[in-house]
Amino acid sequence: MIILRKILFPFALLYGIVMLLRNFLYDIRVFKSSSFPFPVICVGNLSVGGTGKSPMIEYLLTLLISNYKTATLSRGYGRNSSGFHLLDGSETAEMVGDEPLQFKSKFRRAIVAVDEKRTRGISLLQSSCSPDVILLDDAFQHRKVEAGLNIILTTYNELYIDDFILPTGNLREPASGAQRAQIIVVTKCPKNMTVKKQVKIRKGLKLKDYQKLFFSYIEYSNKVYSEKPGKLISSISDEKITLVTGIANPQPLCDYLDQLHIDFEHLNFPDHHKFTKGDLNQIMEAPLVLTTEKDFMRLKGVITHPNLYYIPIKMKFLGSKALEFDQQIERYVLNKK
């Protein structure tokens, strides 16, 4: 795979030039973007793969939903439908995508919608629900919408400054695209990350004066959940466990289970994997299945396993930076309303 990526280097250069030209034409208004007179916050990244967008959306929902009528808009990756759909929670992941269904399941008060055309989706949300603020999930490259606040995520082990354009690397656009963001969050950091390391990353990112940098980590729950109330993960530690994952990088979850001295067999599928009949039969044969929350949204609609559990995660900021981040979000929402 590494050799193939190197062979494809000329195509990466061509793709990078096309993306640079596209961004330039949007910047000088040759290509039109739509802006809106109410708060629109975009959460995205420069790279393919999991950088933690869903935990960030959930963090923002937790922050805003008590005081503001908050909506999320996703394209509904992998769904078998098209167009605008407003979720009521009764849908399946096949209908609307696993992540939107996860948002609606956890935040019943949230307005959750999907539409592959974000401009249309925002307009329909505003006309039908009149939310105070709209969160755009994975829309940083969707430049037909000009969000009022852009948050981009980059993982600690795969910073965008150390990456290259597709297909040689994993970047969707050149690293210079980060300049459109007002907030950059380095995600999946070690909890014990040193200040020295933070300073080194800050220097490497070469932030603009208007950009704020934050560092975050993933915290796994000490409970597992199903359709029933949660119970301590230690209560299943003596069971024969099959871990099922269909996410970009399951290694942190595996490491967490190893730290708890939990023995498990791992069925590792690609990100957003569509489970085949054979996959589902294999999963059904396992005495106890443990999975991610996103995968649970897809599995619960197609199998009725009596012992199907998931582990929730939360995004948390290092040090005392959560307050600073929260205040910046709330200032933007208040000033834009």
Instruction: Tell me whether residue 167 is in a domain.
Output: yes
CA Rg, the chain, in Å?
Answer: 20
Same domain, 244 and 214: no
Same domain, 20 and 154: yes
| Domain housing 304 | 222-311
Q: What is the DSSP letter of 116?
A: S
Say what the pTM is.
0.94
217, burial (CB in 10 Å: exposed 0-12, middle 13-18, buried 19+): buried
Same domain, 150 and 39: yes
Instruction: Tell me whether residue 89 is in a domain.
Output: no
Instruction: Tell me whether residue 87 is in a domain.
Output: no
**Contact (CB, 8 A) for 29 and 155:** no
Same domain, 158 and 303: no
Same domain, 32 and 141: yes
Same domain, 9 and 25: yes
**What total number of domains does the chain contain?**
2
Instruction: Tell me whether residue 80 is in a domain.
Output: no
Same domain, 59 and 175: yes
Long-range contacts of 7-11 (CB under 8 A, 24+ apart): 8/167, 8/168, 9/168, 11/167, 11/168
Same domain, 158 and 293: no
Same domain, 156 and 301: no
Task: List all residues 6 or more positions away from 174 whose beta carbon is below 8 Å from its beta carbon.
Answer: 16, 19, 20, 23, 165
Same domain, 58 and 161: yes
Same domain, 39 and 147: yes
Amino acid at 309: Y
- Rounded Cα distance, 333 and 64, in Å: 9
**Tokens linked to 255:** 């490491």
Same domain, 158 and 228: no
CA 15 to chain centre: 24
- Rounded Cα distance, 114 and 76, in Å: 5
Instruction: Tell me whether residue 254 is in a domain.
Output: yes
- Rounded Cα distance, 128 and 121, in Å: 10
- Rounded Cα distance, 333 and 321, in Å: 19
Task: Tell me the H-state helices in 206-320.
Answer: 251-259, 277-285, 293-299
pLDDT per residue as tens, the chain (337 positions): 678 788 889 999 999 999 999 999 999 999 999 999 999 999 999 999 889 999 999 999 999 999 999 999 999 988 999 999 999 999 999 999 999 999 999 999 999 999 999 999 999 999 999 999 999 999 999 999 999 999 999 999 999 999 999 999 999 999 999 999 999 999 999 999 999 999 999 999 999 999 999 999 999 999 999 988 889 999 998 999 999 999 988 999 999 999 999 999 999 999 888 899 999 999 999 999 999 999 999 998 789 999 999 999 999 999 889 999 999 999 999 998 7
Q: What is the DSSP letter of 3?
A: H
**Tokens linked to 225:** 């959940």
Strand-strand pairing, 313-317 and 183-187: unpaired
- Rounded Cα distance, 51 and 43, in Å: 11
Instruction: Tell me whether residue 47 is in a domain.
Output: yes
**CATH number of the domain within which 212 lies:** 3.40.50
